Chain A
Amino acid sequence: DTGVSQDPRHKITKRGQNVTFRCDPISEHNRLYWYRQTLGQGPEFLTYFQNEAQLEKSRLLSDRFSAERPKGSFSTLEIQRTEQGDSAMYLCASSFSTGVPGANVLTFGAGSRLTVL
Chain B
Amino acid sequence: AQKVTQAQTEISVVEKEDVTLDCVYETRDTTYYLFWYKQPPSGELVFLIRRNSFDEQNEISGRYSWNFQKSTSSFNFTITASQVVDSAVYFCALLTSGTYKYIFGTGTRLKVLA
If A31-B100, A56-B99, A107-B47 touch, whether A102 touches B32 (CB-CB below 8 Å) is yes
A101 x B98 contact (CB < 8 A): yes
Provide the residues of chain A in CB contact with B42, threshold 8 Å.
Answer: 110
B43-67 CB contacts (< 8 Å) to partner A: 43-47, 50, 52
Q: Does B24 contact A (CB under 8 A)?
A: no
Total contacts A to B, CB within 8 angstroms? 68
If A56-B99, A56-B100 touch, whether A101 touches B45 (CB-CB below 8 Å) is no
Provide the residues of chain A in CB contact with B101, threshold 8 Å.
Answer: 45, 48, 56, 58
Proximity bits, B99-113, A CB within 8 Å = 1, else 0: 111111111000000
Question: What's the interface size class on A, roughly?
Answer: 20 to 34
Proximity bits, A51-80, B CB within 8 Å = 1, else 0: 000011010000000000000000000000
A20-74 CB contacts (< 8 Å) to partner B: 31, 33, 40-45, 48, 55-56, 58
B4-27 CB contacts (< 8 Å) to partner A: 4, 6, 9
Q: Which residues of A contact B (CB under 8 A)?
A: 31, 33, 40-45, 48, 55-56, 58, 89, 91, 93, 101-102, 104-111
Q: Which residues of B contact A (CB under 8 A)?
A: 4, 6, 9, 31-33, 35, 37, 42-47, 50, 52, 91, 93, 95-107
